[in-house]
Structure 1
Amino acid sequence: MFKYYFLVFFLHMQSIEQVPVLMWETNQELNSTLGKYSPLESKAHDLRTIISRIFKRKIPIIVYLEETLSLEDLIIRNEYGSTIFPGLSSFINSFNSYFMPYAENPIETIEEIASPVKKIDSSSFHDYNNWHELATLVINLKMIKTNESRENMLKKHDFTILQMHSKFANMHTHIFSIFTARYPSWIIPEYSERHNFKKLLQSESESESEPPTGTPTETKVVPIVDDKNLLLVISGNGEYSSDNGAKFSPVTLSRSDFSIKDNDMTLSLDGGGVKVTFIIVFGSDGFWTIENITLDEKPISFDEIAVPMNFSYHCSNLVLSNEATKQILKIIGFQIQPFKDEQEQQQFGDAYDCVGFVSIPICSGIFIVSILLLILFCGIVSMMDIETADRYDDPNGKVFKAYVEYS
């Protein structure tokens, strides 16, 4: 009987979907005069209670609904340590907000309490003008494309939410907004891709819409070499020292020379007080290599850089030093990729990183495998210690008896 109870309990837990929920309330009149205020007027931490009280106050409710979302998605950071949700972060900083890391089936709770509910897709919200007639609007955010990373999808959804919120704020001065999902995503997006591969440093296409005024923006990275045969990006100013690191001064590197001869490329960057030259060679083994690097025309020693074809090379902090001349040059956010054939529009391929990365799942897997191997080793050693008995009772011999004397 117990196993049936366990099965029922397991199925019940499977039916409960726990996803994060972010809520914020926008009241233009109160926010303009009082700043942040307490719209919920309660210390309730139960989603059902919060939605019930908001619905009783006749406040329009907008639900931005992802298909899958987990707490790991909200803590993703890009190459510069910034969140991929600048729009949601601005809501948290500007309005009264409340965050629940885990809520059970939030969309079902919302549909049950805040009815009637109208559902539309995010692609059609520009053509939707009848929202003011409804109490609750659920907007389904578009799912990921096959050739698009989850991080890019979430960044686009954040921008879409910002656009929709601006439009709805013009229609209503008082709005209660919710960002949540139907199901949890049990993988850590993009973090699982950091094994020797990094996100591109190349800036996004300029054809995309610019964010509204006041939106937190990230520093754009502009290629300093954008040739048909080479793409090079440096995300920050370099640092140069001519006294073996005793004193560094900032330098801004720019392209000074670039030439191609057969399978060799020569690239020179000038930083005013220092000039660095890279010699790139296309090999017949399917790799391209940086065979020589010079500082002020003096060669330096460095670890071999060999990268597969159609891959880029990335290093967050590329350090070039010459012990003989005591020169040190640090290049921040260095990413480079040569192209053997000319292409009109260059884009970085997957990046081969100069520093290996071991993620938490990899460490967990190694730890578990180590324990299993230890158990297997102990078992094998124990089995090898088993010895065959070398003495047996003789069935035809004298039977030994134990006598007990009583005094």
Structure 2
Amino acid sequence: MSVCKSVLILISLLFSVSLVQCTEFVPVFMWSSNKVNEKVPALHKISQDSFKDDVLEHLKENPFVIVFAEQTLSPEDFAQRDQKGATLFPNLEKHKKNSKVSYLPYVQNPIKALKHLGEEVTEISVSDVTESLQFPLTNILIVDLNDARDDEHRFDMLKRHDAAVISIYKEIAKKHNNILVLYTAHHTSWVAPEDVVSSRKIRSLLAVNERSVFVKNNYSLIYYSEASFVLDKSLNTNGTAVTLNFVDEKENTSIILTGTSDQLQVRFEFSSSTSVGYWILKEVVATYNNTEYNLNSTALSDIYALTTFSYHCGDQTFTGENTNFELYFSAFQVQLFFDGIGNVTKFSDAYDCVGFTSVPIWSGIFVTAVLLLIMTLGITMMMDIKTMDRFDDAKGKTITVNAE
């Protein structure tokens, strides 16, 4: 009996793990040309069945349903900005202001829910749609945005898809009066589960999406996203995208981390101070066309951390003091292991380039200090007020003050 129970427990665990792995929450942009969509809480997770019921309510009006499906998409993608601060979805953001648009940040398997509605579903590539602008006669049309290019950044691909979605929608609007449009994805692009360590939660890097690179070497872990460099930053041009392949080597008390590509080579030198238990970035040298550029971090503080910690920074930029060369990472995290990395596959807790006392915190401290100073002065002045201790008695002798 004990063996049978063990087998049943093992089967149930495997089944539960498989259910977890097949469940993904992805964002959904949904709008209708006729019906005003209901607003939903921004952080509310919608189950597959609830989303299915919502779509069925829209189908009662017999709309033409078109679904634009990315391969991967996450709510974090809508928060991303390029080097000029522009969003990746300018057209969808403008369309989002319309009262007929609903943005659902976490929907469980929306594509699977649409395929289980019992309606006729047809899938077609976006390249076929843009070439002919002909749409099959079907109840639900899924347009797969699967035209990624080898030499294209994912940022640029999402911007191009944003323009294609609105363009195709306008063409459909010329032929149909009642349209239901959805912009979603098959899978999530960001996976950052939380592990419980010492009765508290910490974030760790588990998987890498298409626009991110995670490298494990002998003595280092490094993660970066959207790397680019600019030769002349005074021209305010977009950076040249680059993918760096990192290798490391140990030299005495230093670790040399070298990233190379067809166009650029970047050399990071990290040194260890065993007496105080810290490691620090000592030098950054970029080489382009046999020209070396000595770079410094533009962060508020040096790049350093305890030997058991990692360093993380969003929008990490390295620039030269006397040159216009600039190296940019939209996200950057590194950790050094001077004794060898062993079986480590994820980062430890991170020192962040944004200090603990940020500008809003300093502003609050300053305003509070001013108010406390005013209150202290007011109370001090009130306590210094002295009342009269002698009064004139009408029946007695008058008070006389001798003045010489």
TM-score relative to the length of structure 2: 0.49
TM-score relative to the length of structure 1: 0.48
User: Larger strand proportion, structure 1 or 2?
Assistant: 2
